[in-house]
Amino acid sequence: MSITNFFEIDKNLLKLDEAALEKCRGQFENIEKTAEHNQLKVLSAFIKNGVSEADMSGSTGYGYGDKGRDVLERVMADCMGAEDALMRHNFVSGTHTLTVALFGLLRPGDKILCLTGRPYDTILGVFGIDGPSDGSLADFGIEYREVELKADGTPDIEAIKKALKAEHYKMAYIQRSRGYSLRPSLKIDDIKELCGAVREVSPDSIIMVDNCYGEFVETREPCEVGADIIAGSLIKNPGGGIAPTGGYIAGRRDLIEKCSYRLTCPGVGREVGASLGHSRELYMGLFSAPHVVGEALKSAVYASSLFELMGYGVTPRFNEKRGDIIQCITLGNRQALIDFCKGLQSGAPVDSFAVPEPWDMPGYSDQVIMAAGAFTLGSSIELSADAPLREPFAVWMQGGLNFHSARAGILLGANRVFSQKNTDKNK
């Protein structure tokens, strides 16, 4: 195989690589079909909304009358199967985007119920879960509750219905991706079931979905199966690896309007916000996203297949249905975890020479190691991996702008783990 023309890989590992690829064929076909469907969905949204070259030019100052910005938001709404959307480089991260939506929709005295257990780490401070941090929703008198997941990591529909019957919640909150937990990600059918349960018991609760890492993984998005509003990051799936920063909110028009008053100012809303020179990157990124998400999914499926053949625990398995682009690999010990990250980093297009080391990251109880050699800082639609240094020494890996390079990166990570293991055996 051609990889040996450029990189040194253990011969025995190359055999596993071949076998792993062979096992992935069926999944790859499914991924291609989904990517094609989503690509046509995106293309027709561009055509329907009459995207023109002039829409890419951008505005300055207040950004009044920025047609390109407005058209982009209509295209995004259509791509997400929603009535309306906000999509801007002014959102600084996924967490900020979710925060704008939450503060835009909730008022003092409102209650929010999370249906999917403990949310993603960076959201805890927004809700004020571990004590009302300054400026959190709790600080503004908005009460947070959650329904624990069942032992198998799936939502507890009966407990959710019971909670919604007992009290009125302004919002029901769903996290689609597994984040950095071992629970399975939600599939669109799971989200549909959750929305149905909420509607049955509490029809006027707003259903919000944290859609991070989920966009374009399936052929439908949460708003197409009952969610009222969704939000996500543009340095993940829907930015296609081209958007340099930003986020989006999509959903019901009346709710999007409320969010726009929090994004800028009450009374002003979405009419302002200079797009500067970023419109073109946001259009191109969205256009590329279905294909790039397909490449990231192939990379995850391949890694799952390869590491399973190497004898490691993986979730999801290569042939399981996926709801996000994240792959978890349990490497079992500290050294293997560090080796994997170092190997992956050595195969990155940017900063391949950097050597990741575990460090005491603020806000985390254990040391964390990260591998990322990306064109956009922190971009996780590009091949990247993160892991806390604690039992069971699992690494969360995601992204890959194209399968060929991601396969090389994964194989270099595997090679480092593989050679170390065999050296230890021969000692």
Rounded Cα distance, 174 and 155, in Å: 10
Which residues 157-216 are close enough to bind ligand PLP by CB under 6 A?
175, 177, 179, 210, 212-213
CB of 370 to ligand PLP, least distance (A): 12
Rounded Cα distance, 368 and 291, in Å: 31
CB of 391 to ligand PLP, least distance (A): 22
Number of residues that bind ligand PLP (CB under 6 A): 12
| C-beta closer to ligand PLP: residue 1 or 92 | 92
Which of 59, 84, 89, 120 binds ligand PLP (CB under 6 A)? It is 120
- Angle value at C-alpha 251, between 220 and 205, nearest 5 degrees: 105
Give yes or no for residue 93 binding ligand PLP (CB under 6 A): yes
Rounded Cα distance, 303 and 397, in Å: 9
Which of 27, 38, 205, 233 binds ligand PLP (CB under 6 A)? It is 233
CB of 360 to ligand PLP, least distance (A): 19
User: Rounded to whole angstroms, what are the CA distances from 294 to 147, 178, 241, 257, 266?
Assistant: 32, 18, 12, 32, 39
Give yes or no for residue 118 binding ligand PLP (CB under 6 A): no
Which of 49, 95, 304, 384 binds ligand PLP (CB under 6 A)? It is 95
Give yes or no for residue 281 binding ligand PLP (CB under 6 A): no
At position 384, the amino acid (one-letter code) is S
Kindly list the strands in the beta sheet with 394-398, ordered across the sheet, starting from the edge strand earlier in the chain: 313-315, 327-330, 394-398, 384-388, 368-372
| C-beta closer to ligand PLP: residue 14 or 370 | 370
Which of 30, 57, 122, 405 binds ligand PLP (CB under 6 A)? It is 122
Which residues 129-158 are close enough to bind ligand PLP by CB under 6 A?
none
CB of 232 to ligand PLP, least distance (A): 8
Sequence-distant (6+) residues with CB within 8 A of 359 are 367, 368, 369
Rounded Cα distance, 237 and 279, in Å: 17
Rounded Cα distance, 287 and 281, in Å: 10
User: Rounded to whole angstroms, what are the CA distances from 93 to 39, 138, 234, 239?
Assistant: 25, 21, 8, 12
| C-beta closer to ligand PLP: residue 68 or 239 | 239
| C-beta closer to ligand PLP: residue 59 or 175 | 175
| C-beta closer to ligand PLP: residue 51 or 209 | 209
Rounded Cα distance, 210 and 212, in Å: 6
| C-beta closer to ligand PLP: residue 113 or 126 | 126
For 263, the enclosing helix (H) or strand (E) is helix 253-263
Contact set with ligand PLP (CB under 6 A): 93-95, 120, 122, 175, 177, 179, 210, 212-213, 233
